Structure 1
Amino acid sequence: MSKLTLGSYPHMLGFEQLERLLERSAKSGNEGYPPYNIEQTSDHSYRITLAVAGFGEEDLAITVEDRQLVIRGRQGDDSEGRVFLHRGIAARQFQRMFVLADGVEVGEAVMENGLLHVDLTRARPETVVQTINIKKG
């Protein structure tokens, strides 16, 4: 069975970058931690919420790299000198990546009750009508 690509459709011109983004997103290695929600907050805005209990603002980093929103968390190991009878809460790190469409901008990020909220907005595209003159050859 051959793999269908966007290049297989002759009327879909210039979408090679979208195909690369989809492949990169599939390979991003996002596991199940931390859990997250994505909600649409208006016609042109979204909110990503990650459950980051135990992380402080200084333990988190949010960057946009090549149209990908990358959220990283790294907790320090504060167990030195402590004796645990049971340790079910481990200090762990994570990296979550979200591919952003053109025109989607990252707004503010807010920590609230162990949840990290990241707001996104999408610019409204302008409708452009262009008339192409036909020259005689």
Structure 2
Amino acid sequence: MDSRPQRRNAVRRRIRRIHWGRDDGVATIEFATLALVVLTLAFTTIQVGLYYHARKVAQSAARQGVNAGRQFGAGQADGLAQAQDYLARYGGSVKGAQASSSGSSAEEIRITVTGDVATLVPGLTLHVTQHADGPIERWTNP
């Protein structure tokens, strides 16, 4: 038997193996890249959720303040106190939250709540400002 065709086939297989190379370690690199993308998406989703939660807490505090301040016989101070009380109870996601009644008049109360959002990324600062307003209840003659 002629062994030359067998040697040629063996040489061809060896050349193909050397030419195409081996894929050792490629799965690790793919996993590391994919893990980075998945973690970025997860942290972004959580951060967006924290931002919208902080907005809702600030809006609710402003609304609570307006509802308390617009009642008959109440004033801006009552509205601010109610907004601050709400923030003290539920405002953990709004850091440094402050309520203000600037923009209010004798006929309308306006409560504005401002603060910073809790963040997952160091150095990232997100600010939230929400307000609510409504007419002050009063007796009028027809």
TM-score w.r.t. the length of structure 1 is: 0.27
Higher-Rg member (1/2): 2
Q: Which has the higher strand share?
A: 1
Q: Which has the higher helix share?
A: 2
